[in-house]
Chain A
Amino acid sequence: MSGSLSRAAAALLRWGRGAGGGGLRGPGVRRAGSGGGGGSSAEQLDALVKKDKVVVFLKGTPEQPQCGFSNAVVQILRLHGVRNYAAYNVLDDPQLRQGIKDYSNWPTIPQVYLNGEFVGGCDILLQMHQNGDLVEELKKLGIRSALLDEKKDQDSK
């Protein structure tokens, strides 16, 4: 299978396995379903994905992802300097795990939502990261990607 995308993906999957944030204040890890009920009806999930600008459903947490694909999502967000996002661990809650798949009509985890809208899984986020779309989408949310600052530094040298 053709090279660059799968090589990049493989590299991301190897990074930071359980390495955590190294002292940086980590992203907000929210627990779904606080306050009674299963926390996974369509209405509840709808409210959940709209509550924060960037919402991800992972296996594990940003500090300790339990799956290579979920880890890739965490690493991509870290690269862009996105720190304040809501991360929900589906391994904590089987109803959430199934509920979010039904809600988005998408069969796998991780799932990424920007501005309340389902964007895709790890593959799509990776491609958006590589083709510059992610920087644009973050900009629309009022989030300035850290990669823009990196580039500026490089250009000015």
Chain B
Amino acid sequence: MELSAEYLREKLQRDLEAEHVEVEDTTPNRCASSFRVLVVSAKFEGKPLLQRHRLVNTCLAEELLHIHAFEQKTLTPEQWARERQK
């Protein structure tokens, strides 16, 4: 199974209709396959953090079986715009 950052990025973008996705392969810093992702999607609107993260987890359910460590940040387009202004 292909577990590249690019593969994850495309899948997240597609399944979550994301406006913006960043995937960082953090494997070199950890003991095994690890990724950090940022997903910006209108689908997160009105959802608490846990629900947002579960959406991401569901999208990558199969991949996560093979990933050792996973960090995620989930923002709505509005939150993303605000953060970029900082």
Residues of B within 8 A of A (CB): 22, 24, 36, 38, 49-50, 53-54, 57, 64-65, 67, 69-73, 83-84, 86
Contacts and interface: CB of A to CB of B under 8 A. Distances in A.
A15 to B, nearest CB: 16
Interface in A120-157: 120-124, 127-128
A118 to B, nearest CB: 7
Which of the four size classes fits the interface of chain A?
20 to 34
A28 interface: no
Contacts of B70: 107-108
A131 B52 CA distance: 16
Given A6-B73, A107-B70, A120-B49, 20 more contacts: A1-B36, A2-B38, A2-B83, A2-B84, A3-B86, A4-B86, A5-B73, A106-B54, A106-B57, A107-B65, A107-B67, A119-B50, A120-B50, A120-B53, A122-B71, A123-B72, A124-B50, A127-B49, A127-B73, A128-B49
A2 B85 CA distance: 11
Contacts of B69: 69, 108
A120 B69 CA distance: 14
B35 to A, nearest CB: 11
| Chain B CB within 10 Å, residue with most, of A2, A5, A6 | A2
A9 B64 contact: no
